[in-house]
């Protein structure tokens, strides 16, 4: 696990062993997929399976239930059997709106749950130890939030969020007009948990048509 010291330099710290609390997951699919010409990125196919199928398969064993954050007609995702939660902040303000929708859903439907995992639905090769290691990292740091890192790059959409911060997040979105995740997380103690990027970056994201072609190649390294 990596953290920043007072000078802003990343240093490695030892993770702790803890009991992993119940952690629902939200798959963030609320974006507009402009770089793919519109439509739903998670419905693109890699080696015969949609990205969404791959993400669900990776997270099901790790999460205490999964929901999907998406805007528009939820019926287009009906075959996946997931609860679909739309943003309730207008004008597509980005992934923070999806995270807020998930935290509100957890508060209303999963009383007692303190933590929610978020992931991007364009990441077909997510690590199988994602939830456990993020929890270990935030516990070691006594952090309020945790995000994933690979190859020296932070992935702010992939992280753990405390349900108790939802009203502060709503205020940041609506009143402070904060749209970038790292601007909001900078207000809190944040654990950055690192994974190796070789031979395959587990947070590779398929944002373009070219990325889909690369993902076809990587799927063979990942075992299909």
Stated pTM of the model: 0.88
Count how many domains the chain has.
Answer: 1
Asked if residue 127 belongs to a domain, the reply is yes
* Mean pLDDT over the full length of the chain: 88
Q: What is the pLDDT of residues 42-83, one digit of tens each?
A: 899 898 999 999 999 999 999 999 999 999 899 999 999 999
Cα of 51 vs its chain's centroid, Å = 14
User: 14 in helix, strand or coil?
Assistant: coil
CATH of the domain at 199: 3.90.550.10
- Helix locations, the chain, DSSP H: 51-59, 95-109, 130-141, 166-174, 181-185, 209-221
Asked if residue 10 belongs to a domain, the reply is no
Q: What is the pLDDT of residues 158-174, one digit of tens each?
A: 999 999 999 999 999 99
Q: By residue range, what is the domain housing residue 70?
A: 18-221
User: pLDDT grade, residue 16 (50/70/90)?
Assistant: low
pLDDT at 8 over 50: no
Asked if residue 13 belongs to a domain, the reply is no
> Percent of the chain, pLDDT > 90?
71
Asked if residue 11 belongs to a domain, the reply is no
Cα-based torsion angle of the residue sequence 11, 17, 22, 26 in order, rounded to the nearest 10 degrees: 30
Asked if residue 3 belongs to a domain, the reply is no
User: How far is it, in rounded angstroms, from Cα 146 to Cα 192?
Assistant: 6
- Please give the pLDDT value at position 217: 86
- Please give the pLDDT value at position 54: 95
- Please give the pLDDT value at position 221: 79
Q: What angle do CA 117, 12, 4 make, to 5 degrees?
A: 75
- Stronger pLDDT, 174 or 209, i.e. the higher one: 174
pLDDT at 13 over 60: no
Asked if residue 214 belongs to a domain, the reply is yes
- Please give the pLDDT value at position 101: 96
User: pLDDT grade, residue 105 (50/70/90)?
Assistant: very high
- Please give the pLDDT value at position 185: 96
Which two tokens mark 72? 């528009």
Asked if residue 105 belongs to a domain, the reply is yes
Asked if residue 24 belongs to a domain, the reply is yes
């Amino acid at each position: 696990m990596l953290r920043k010291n007072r000078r802003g330099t990343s240093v490695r710290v030892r993770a702790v062993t803890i009991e992993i609390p119940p952690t629902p997951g939200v798959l963030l699919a609320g974006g507009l997929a402009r770089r793919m010409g519109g439509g739903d990125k998670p419905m693109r196919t890699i080696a015969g399976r949609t990205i969404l199928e791959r993400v669900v398969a990776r997270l099901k064993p790790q999460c205490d239930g999964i929901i999907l954050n998406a805007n528009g007609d939820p019926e287009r995702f009906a075959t996946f059997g997931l609860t679909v939660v739309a943003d309730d902040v207008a004008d597509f303000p980005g992934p923070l709106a999806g995270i807020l929708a998930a935290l509100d859903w957890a508060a209303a439907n999963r009383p007692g749950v303190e933590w929610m995992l978020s992931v991007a639905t364009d990441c077909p090769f997510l690590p199988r130890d994602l939830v456990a290691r993020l929890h270990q990292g935030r516990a070691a740091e006594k952090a309020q939030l945790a995000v994933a890192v690979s190859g020296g790059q932070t992935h702010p959409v992939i992280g753990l969020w405390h349900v108790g911060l939802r009203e502060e997040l709503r205020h940041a979105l609506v009143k402070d007009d904060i749209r970038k995740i790292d601007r909001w997380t900078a207000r809190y103690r944040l654990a950055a948990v690192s994974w190796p990027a070789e031979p395959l970056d587990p947070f590779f994201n398929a944002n373009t048509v070219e990325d889909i072609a690369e993902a076809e190649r990587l799927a063979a390294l990942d075992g299909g």
